[in-house]
Chains A and B, each alone.
Chain A
């Protein structure tokens, strides 16, 4: 396995970075390194081109409305089509919050400005009357197995899924996509979008490995496997959030 290498494109790391989503990159890097897989992280920001030939994974994190307004036109005009093609080709994508919204058709800011997205996910995100803030636990299915995912959501946009994608999971505690239909996130081919900060992957090592495994198999064929790691600490943190979310109960709404 030591010769294996993967390339991750980190979209707008300088602008879409306020909610601690960096932990997802750290988790992917470490979990690859611990298995002798080299993960090269390529930052791609305003004015940059997407390296399409050597792109195994794409990460797109959350940002503030103001940054999202700057990112949206750049993303749609110079990267959106490339990302859509990569996704059709099976590239693995994880997008959280603002990144998730910009991979949909449209996102409308709190101030009412409608921003265009890349249309990877068949979702739209109009603004909501309140902010959804709190711990979130969902029931998802990864490689045919039911698994919980835990995180922290903080968003005013409400996301509604069209028929062209599946939800990532069903909300057990929290609001999820829109606080109405019990869904959270979206999945299309190997692209995953959701509202879950936390950071998401460190406390959900099964999702991290699911993403790495998909990327490996796409690049190196179906024989590529991931040796298991000792996830004692990660599992404790995962279970602690499940308990904490259950104890604190439903989502509370913020004043802003």
Chain B
């Protein structure tokens, strides 16, 4: 009866082990290819045995950090999550996760399944994992060469939800009209989260928006306030479609630059305040998403607060590393909205809130921006022209441009009026890191902003130098 599943899992385990011994970066996907050939239902069978069911997390930005955060919250509550790691978020990565975290009879060594899923993989994941909840963070244009336009992905998700059991919960970002609107045809009202503090918003529209027109009637949305990109307090003046009232809301937000964020949360179970180590408004959304998910899983408020405060970011997404007498701040960049927000965090003046300190008199920051155009990064670098680099003018001392598209990055900076003599082109990541560190003053921070594969390269350089661990060990 279970022989086929056992054979599949055994094969997967052997493949993963062989691959690991051959040093193929942790063997994250080979097992995922082999297992379904032996038992196509392996993923469904194993996840079906999880006592508390499964949660699927998807969206353009924040899914890795949000998934890590939920896992951390579950850990605080003494619950064990079975989850896919290191951004292995296609079906193969999900299968690999069960191979590693179930015994050979297919019994999971965990209480809850927690799966970060690539946007285009959501339909397949929903068919194979019958989740108790689906959490969608946001939908931005990201790698148009790969996913297509945002409405295409929204349409995929809308279709895929028709396969969901009616009791499955949807956890949606109320501030993103593309995501919020996905809940309107569900039998059960979704659990919405959003930011309710207008003091951290912007009253000017962003120069480029991915969701300008009402999903129902095609009229241009009107916004009371924008937080970033097309996230904000939106409404359609024609048909009345509007931001749903979020049950989980950040009613007070104090951004403390790269030192973190203070957030006051309002939930159906009561209010609480937490000091997040994660910087930036985008991480307020990640914290809100994880909090909403924690509530859906029945975690107590006090556990949520403690977990939110003790969490530090997912690998490479956002890290602080000490390299000799200098600090290194590493943040992944992958699309216009995310990159613009990372720059806002890097340049943040620490002047808000009671903990504010006057900005130390730094003449200008040192940056290393590494842009690759491999498949996982997106092969089209046009999006760099939609990132607001204009704010760097007068606030950077040196920007080293690295990666396969170092020259494109350099031109973008020149047209953002960064003086050409402050721009260095050094495509090789190792040499670029050496040059950037050499011009970073002692005691100061080097800000390293790479695309996905460039981040892996930078980490490898840092790992060889003994500054960080290999990522599959975490």
Q: Which residues of A contact B (CB under 8 A)?
A: 13-15, 17-23, 26-27, 30, 46, 64-67, 70, 133-135, 152, 154, 197-199, 202-203, 230, 232-234, 236-237, 240-241, 244, 254, 256
A116 vs B414: C-alpha distance in the bound complex, in angstroms? 39
Interface of chain B residues 177 through 200 with chain A (CB within 8 A) = none
Which of the 9-residue segments B37-45, B56-64, B212-220, B326-334 touches chain A? B212-220
Pairwise interchain contact A27-B415, C-beta atoms closer than 8 A: yes
Selected contact of A197 from candidates B212, B382, B405, B417, CB within 8 Å: B382
A51 vs B145: C-alpha distance in the bound complex, in angstroms? 35
A150 vs B145: C-alpha distance in the bound complex, in angstroms? 17
Selected contact of A154 from candidates B145, B384, B412, CB within 8 Å: B145
Pairwise interchain contact A202-B415, C-beta atoms closer than 8 A: yes
Q: Which residues of B contact A (CB under 8 A)?
A: 141, 144-152, 205, 207-210, 212-213, 218, 220, 336, 373, 379-386, 404-408, 410-412, 414-415, 417, 420, 423, 425
A27 vs B52: C-alpha distance in the bound complex, in angstroms? 55
Pairwise interchain contact B208-A152, C-beta atoms closer than 8 A: no
Pairwise interchain contact B379-A133, C-beta atoms closer than 8 A: yes
Known: A233-B410, A237-B407. A18 touches B141 (CB 8 A): yes
List, in ascending order, chain A residues with CB within 8 A of B373's CB: 244
Known: A18-B141, A202-B385, A233-B407. A254 touches B209 (CB 8 A): no
Pairwise interchain contact B208-A236, C-beta atoms closer than 8 A: no
List, in ascending order, chain A residues with CB within 8 A of B145's CB: 133-134, 152, 154, 254
Pairwise interchain contact B384-A237, C-beta atoms closer than 8 A: no
Known: A20-B384, A65-B149, A70-B218. A244 touches B425 (CB 8 A): no
The 6 closest A-B pairs by CB, nearest first: A20-B382, A23-B385, A237-B407, A64-B149, A20-B385, A240-B407
Q: How far is the CB of B212 from chain A (nearest CB, A)?
A: 6
Most buried by A among B150, B152, B408: B408
A177 vs B466: C-alpha distance in the bound complex, in angstroms? 51
Pairwise interchain contact B407-A236, C-beta atoms closer than 8 A: yes
Q: How far is the CB of A64 from chain B (nearest CB, A)?
A: 4
Pairwise interchain contact B414-A233, C-beta atoms closer than 8 A: yes
Known: A15-B212, A64-B151, A256-B152. A203 touches B408 (CB 8 A): yes
A109 vs B406: C-alpha distance in the bound complex, in angstroms? 35
Known: A17-B208, A18-B210. A66 touches B151 (CB 8 A): yes
Pairwise interchain contact A254-B208, C-beta atoms closer than 8 A: no
Q: How far is the CB of A31 from chain B (nearest CB, A)?
A: 9
Pairwise interchain contact B420-A233, C-beta atoms closer than 8 A: yes
Pairwise interchain contact A22-B208, C-beta atoms closer than 8 A: yes
List, in ascending order, chain B residues with CB within 8 A of A22's CB: 207-208, 385-386
Pairwise interchain contact B411-A202, C-beta atoms closer than 8 A: yes
Known: A64-B150, A254-B146, A256-B148. A26 touches B415 (CB 8 A): yes
Most buried by A among B146, B152, B410, B415: B415
Pairwise interchain contact A23-B415, C-beta atoms closer than 8 A: yes
Q: Other CB < 8 Å A-B pairs besides A15-B212, A234-B411, 5 of them?
A: A135-B379, A152-B380, A154-B380, A233-B411, A233-B414
List, in ascending order, chain A residues with CB within 8 A of B144's CB: 18-19, 154
Selected contact of A198 from candidates B208, B382, B415, B425, CB within 8 Å: B382
